[in-house]
Amino acid sequence: MEAAFEYFVKQPIGAYGPDKLSELTERFRTSGFKVRDLIVWIAVTAATEPISKHQET
């Protein structure tokens, strides 16, 4: 999950909040492990959510 997020977004998933990994993991699980849906959720997260201030350098 983390590797897929970092591959597509070029940012660590932690930069989008401490709960984002568990949120995406749960969505992936409830979707029946559909990779296409996971990629869409990753893209939507990257496009709509700001990077957490505590993670910026």
Query: What pLDDT does residue 45 have?
Result: 93
Of residues 41 and 56, more confidence is placed in 41
Length of the chain in residues, anyone? 57
Asked whether the predicted pLDDT for residue 55 surpasses 60, the reply is: no
Query: What pLDDT does residue 50 have?
Result: 81
Q: What is the pLDDT of residues 6-41, one digit of tens each?
A: 999 999 999 999 999 999 999 999 999 999 999 999
Domain ranges of the chain: 2-55
Query: Structure tokens of 14?
Result: 């932690």
Instruction: Indicate yes or no: pTM above 0.85.
Output: no
3-state secondary structure 11-50: CCHHHHCCCHHHHHHHHHHHCCCCHHHHHHHHHHHHHHCC
The Cβ-side half-sphere exposure at 33, using a 13 Å CA radius, reads 0
Cα–Cα distance, 3 to 48 (Å, whole number)? 20
